[in-house]
């Protein structure tokens, strides 16, 4: 969980933004299928073994010449919508 601050109805509130750490290992070719829209979602596993699905468009922020490889932190809004992806380590 990540702490966040937001403004709701003119007042600041804080809370915890749900997050999960995942391993992503995708070749450049697999990323291309996601990028071209042939695949809408990415399916991977969290570090604790849970199945995680998130929008493929998120890969655009982290893809490299050889694809996407490493450990990433995914954050979601309180209502479960994808918010961000951040690299947290190499594999």
Task: State the CATH number of the domain containing residue 74.
Answer: 2.40.50
Residue-wise pLDDT for 51-90, tens only, equals 999 999 899 889 999 999 999 999 998 888 899 999 999 8
Are 45 and 20 in contact by the 8 Å Cβ rule? The answer is no
CA 14 to chain centre: 22
Give the structural domain span for 24: 2-6+13-89
Running DSSP on this structure, what letter comes out for residue 63?
-
What is the number of structural domains in the chain? 1
pLDDT of res. 17: 64
CB atoms within 10 A of CB 42: 22
Q: What is the mean pLDDT of residues 6-15?
A: 49
Of the candidates 70, 71, 83, the residue with the CA atom closest to the CA atom of residue 18: 83
pLDDT in tens, 18-62: 899 999 999 999 988 887 888 899 999 999 999 999 999 899 889
| 16 within 8 A of 2, measured Cβ to Cβ | yes
């Amino acid at each position: 969980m990540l702490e966040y601050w937001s403004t709701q109805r003119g007042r600041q509130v804080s809370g915890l933004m749900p997050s999960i750490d995942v391993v992503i290992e995708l070749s450049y070719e697999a990323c291309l299928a996601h990028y071209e829209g042939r695949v809408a979602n990415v399916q991977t596993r969290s570090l604790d073994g849970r199945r995680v699905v998130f929008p493929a468009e998120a890969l655009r922020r982290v893809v490299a010449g050889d694809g996407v490889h490493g450990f990433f932190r995914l954050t979601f809004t309180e209502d479960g919508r994808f918010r961000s992806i951040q690299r947290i380590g190499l594999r």
